[in-house]
Amino acid sequence: MTDDVLLQTRLTAIAAGDETALKALYDETGAKLFGLVLRIVRSREAAEDVLQDVYLRIWQKAETYAPAAGRPITWMCAIARNRAIDVVRARKETPLADLVDGEDWMNQVPDPHGGESDVLDRGALALCLGRFDAVHRQCLVLAYCEGFSREELAARFDRPVNTIKTWLHRGLASLRSCLDANA
């Protein structure tokens, strides 16, 4: 059974009220979602609280997941990212400092395993992100790893919000294709 099929099966069971499926889903995806949340909120304690809220929302909204709309992990990551950004904005803090020119952008990508990351996955991600020009890569990293809003990115890159949306949409599509090809 592929990961996507397994996660879809778990979400279907969760939608039916299966608590065991929620525990299994947590065991299978918790580290990845925790890494994503931690990178945005920058506090282990806050990340743990957000992660609890994320799985509560998954429990409550599992029936709304539509396989035709995308992969299950993408749906769960969107919930985690949005919840983490909500927490940061509620604290009225800037998510993270700006990338410094020349800084290794792979350092900005969350490591959900605390140093024990899957080298192949990070290697494929590095390869795929490396194919973007620096501005588009930085835009993707700031949006999806740092929690910058479309408006914040538009101001930072001195571009209209719709241009930023296009960059992100095309960038994610390109990244997805590249990662699928390197899987």
Is there a single domain that holds both residue 84 and residue 131?
A: no
1: Cβ contacts below 8 Å, ≥ 6 apart: 9
Token code pair at residue 133? 């020009």
- Tell me how far apart the alpha carbons of residues 28 and 14 are, in angstroms, rounded to a whole number: 14
- Tell me how far apart the alpha carbons of residues 28 and 31 are, in angstroms, rounded to a whole number: 8
Is there a single domain that holds both residue 58 and residue 114?
A: no
Query: How far is C-alpha 43 from the geometric centre of its chain's CA atoms?
Result: 17
Contact yes or no for 72/11 (Cβ under 8 A): yes
Q: Is the pLDDT of residue 114 over 70?
A: no
Contact yes or no for 131/178 (Cβ under 8 A): yes
Q: Is residue 100 part of a domain?
A: no
Is there a single domain that holds both residue 118 and residue 73?
A: no
Task: Report residue 109: phi and psi, to 5°.
Answer: -85, 130
Token code pair at residue 47? 């990340």
Average pLDDT over residues 13-26: 96
Render pLDDT for 124-171 as a digit per residue (tens, 0 to 9): 778 888 888 889 988 888 887 777 888 888 888 999 989 999 999 999
Q: According to the model, what pLDDT value does residue 33 have? A: 93
Contact yes or no for 26/36 (Cβ under 8 A): no
Q: Is the pLDDT of residue 96 over 50?
A: no
Sign of the dihedral defined by the CA atoms of residues 101, 106, 110, 111, in that order: negative
- Tell me how far apart the alpha carbons of residues 10 and 65 are, in angstroms, rounded to a whole number: 11
Render pLDDT for 44-95 as a digit per residue (tens, 0 to 9): 899 999 999 999 999 999 999 999 888 999 999 999 999 998 888 887 644 4
Average pLDDT over residues 108-122: 48
Is there a single domain that holds both residue 13 and residue 73?
A: yes
- List the domain range (segments joined by +) for residue 158: 105-181
Is there a single domain that holds both residue 121 and residue 76?
A: no
- Tell me how far apart the alpha carbons of residues 142 and 161 are, in angstroms, rounded to a whole number: 15
Q: Is the pLDDT of residue 109 over 70?
A: no
Is there a single domain that holds both residue 122 and residue 64?
A: no
- How many domains does the chain contain in total? 2
Average pLDDT over residues 114-120: 43
Q: According to the model, what pLDDT value does residue 121 have? A: 65
pTM of the model: 0.57
Q: How confident is the model at residue 98 (pLDDT cuts 50, 70, 90)?
A: very low
Token code pair at residue 3? 């990961």
Q: According to the model, what pLDDT value does residue 92 have? A: 64
- Tell me how far apart the alpha carbons of residues 44 and 76 are, in angstroms, rounded to a whole number: 19
The CATH code of the domain that includes 113 is: 1.10.10.10
Is there a single domain that holds both residue 26 and residue 57?
A: yes
Average pLDDT over residues 112-117: 43
